[in-house]
Amino acid sequence: MLRARGKPPPPVAPVARRLPPRRAAAADTTLNGVRGNYLVGASLKLGPGAAVRWRLVCDTGRDHVAVAALRRLLREEPDLDARVAAALDRAGEGLRRNVAAADGLQATGRPEAWAHHFANVLFNNMRGGVFWRNETAPADDFAAFVHARDRGVVARRRGLLDALPESPSIRERCEAAVASGDSDLVRYALEYLPLHFGRRHGDPSRPWNTFSIRARGHGGVRSLGYEGNWRDIFQNWEALCVSYPGFLPNVVAKFVNASTVDGFNPYRVSRDGVDWETVKPSDPWSNIGYWGDHQVVYLLRLLELWHRHEPAAFGAALGDRIYTYVEVPYRIKPYAEILKNPSDTIEFDTELAARIGARVAAVGTDGKLLHGGDGAVRRANLFEKLLVPALSKLSNLVPDAGIWMNTQRPEWNDANNALAGGGVSVVTLCHLRRYLAFLAERFASAGEAELPVAAEIAAWFDGVAQVLEEEALPAGAGALDPRERKRLLDRLGGAFDGYRRAAYAGGLNGDVGLAPARAARLCRTALAWTERSLAANRRDDGLYHGYNLLHSPPTPPGPRWPSAGDARGQVAALDSGALDPAASLAVIEQLFASDLYRPDRRSFLLYPERELPGFLARNLVPDDLAGAVPLLRESLAAGDDALVARDADGALRFAAGLRNERDLEAALDKLAERPGLAGTVARDREAVRELYERVFRHRSYTGRSGVMYGYEGLGCIYWHMVAKLLLATQAAALRAESEGSPAAIRDGLAAAYFRIRAGLGPEKSVAEFGAFPTDPYSHTPAHGGAKQPGMTGQVKEEILARFGELGVSVSDGAVRFRPHLLREDEFLAQPSAFRYYDVEGRERTIALSAGQLAFTYCQVPIVYTRSEGPARLRVTCADGSSTRDDGDRLSPATSTELFARSGRVALIEVGVSLPRPA
Identify any residues that bridge with 346 across adjacent strands, giving them in sequence order.
332
What confidence tens digit (pLDDT) does each residue in 651-693 have?
999 999 999 989 999 999 999 999 989 999 999 999 999 999 9
Query: Strand 787-789 vs strand 2-6: parallel, antiparallel, or unpaired?
Result: unpaired
Q: What is the mean pLDDT of the chain?
A: 90
- Other Cβ atoms less than 10 A from the Cβ of 280: the count is 12
CA-based torsion, 585, 591, 597, 599: positive or negative? positive
* SS3 readout for 890-914: CCHHHHHHHHHCCCCEEEEEEEEEC
Fill in the DSSP letter of residue 783.
T
Half-sphere exposure for 111 (CA within 13 Å, toward CB): 3
Say yes or no to pLDDT of 44 above 80: yes
Where exactly does CATH 1.50.10 map onto the chain?
Answer: 200-208+225-575
Helix axes 139-149, 183-191, angle to 10 degrees: 120
User: Is 379 in contact with 320 (CB distance < 8 Å)?
Assistant: no
Which of 148, 147, 149, 170 shows the shortest CA–CA distance to 161?
A: 147
* Helix, strand and coil in the chain, % to nearest 5: 45, 15, 40
Q: Assign residue 494 a region (left: φ > 0; alpha: ψ between -120 and 50; beta: otherwise).
A: alpha
**In sequence order, what E strands does 657-718 have?**
717-718
Say yes or no to pLDDT of 784 above 60: yes
Assigned fold of 200-208+225-575:
Glycosyltransferase (1.50.10)
- Kindly indicate the confidence band of residue 480, based on its pLDDT and cuts at 50, 70 and 90: confident
Identify any residues that bridge with 451 across adjacent strands, giving them in sequence order.
514
Q: What stretch of H or E contains 274? A: strand 273-275
What confidence tens digit (pLDDT) does each residue in 694-706 have?
999 887 787 777 7
Mean pLDDT within 786-801: 90
- The answer to which of 84-88, 403-407, 531-535, 562-566 has the lowest mean pLDDT is 562-566
Which of 231, 392, 386, 228 shows the shortest CA–CA distance to 315?
A: 386
Residue 648 has a pLDDT of 94
Say yes or no to pLDDT of 1 above 80: no
420 or 703, greater pLDDT: 420
| Secondary structure of residue 298 in the 3-state scheme | helix
Rounded Cα–Cα distance for residues 3 and 77 (Å): 14
The amino acid at residue 648 is A
| Secondary structure of residue 70 in the 3-state scheme | helix
Rounded Cα–Cα distance for residues 176 and 164 (Å): 8
Would you state the torsion angle of the CA atoms of residues 813, 912, 914, 577, taken in this order, to the nearest 10 degrees? 0
Rounded Cα–Cα distance for residues 467 and 679 (Å): 43
User: Is 231 in contact with 294 (CB distance < 8 Å)?
Assistant: yes
| Secondary structure of residue 689 in the 3-state scheme | helix
Mean pLDDT within 432-438: 98
Residue 204 has a pLDDT of 55
Rounded Cα–Cα distance for residues 539 and 333 (Å): 34
DSSP secondary structure of 173-233 = HHHHHHHHT-HHHHHHHHH---EE-----S-TTSTT------SB-GGGPBPP--EEEHHHH
Distance of CA 637 to the CA centre of its chain: 56
Residue 26 has a pLDDT of 67
Residue 295 has a pLDDT of 86
∠ Cα 874 878 881 (to 5°)? 50
- Kindly indicate the confidence band of residue 564, based on its pLDDT and cuts at 50, 70 and 90: low
What confidence tens digit (pLDDT) does each residue in 565-596 have?
789 999 999 999 999 999 999 999 999 999 99
Residue 549 has a pLDDT of 87
- The answer to which of 197-201, 483-487, 799-803 has the lowest mean pLDDT is 197-201
- Kindly indicate the confidence band of residue 918, based on its pLDDT and cuts at 50, 70 and 90: very low
Measure Cα distances from 776 to 117, 476, 541, 721, 794 in Å.
10, 45, 32, 12, 7
Say yes or no to pLDDT of 200 above 70: no
Helix axes 183-191, 170-180, angle to 10 degrees: 170
Looking at the chain, the whole-number percentage of residues with pLDDT higher than 90 is 73
Rounded Cα–Cα distance for residues 553 and 699 (Å): 12
- Other Cβ atoms less than 10 A from the Cβ of 483: the count is 10
- Cis link prior to 608 (omega < 30° from 0)? no
Rounded Cα–Cα distance for residues 403 and 395 (Å): 9
Instruction: State the chain's maximal CA–CA distance in angstroms.
Output: 99
CA-based torsion, 422, 427, 430, 431: positive or negative? negative
Identify any residues that bridge with 856 across adjacent strands, giving them in sequence order.
861
| Secondary structure of residue 119 in the 3-state scheme | helix
Q: What stretch of H or E contains 484? A: helix 482-506
User: Is 400 in contact with 524 (CB distance < 8 Å)?
Assistant: no
User: Is 623 in contact with 695 (CB distance < 8 Å)?
Assistant: no
Mean pLDDT within 727-743: 98
Which of 526, 516, 523 shows the shortest CA–CA distance to 318?
A: 516
What confidence tens digit (pLDDT) does each residue in 2-12 have?
444 454 444 45
- Other Cβ atoms less than 10 A from the Cβ of 855: the count is 23
User: Is 635 in contact with 642 (CB distance < 8 Å)?
Assistant: yes
Residue 643 has a pLDDT of 95
CB within 8 Å of 913: residues ≥ 6 apart: 866, 867, 868, 869, 870, 871
Measure Cα distances from 710 to 50, 596, 716, 815, 885 in Å.
45, 15, 5, 42, 53
1 or 198, greater pLDDT: 198
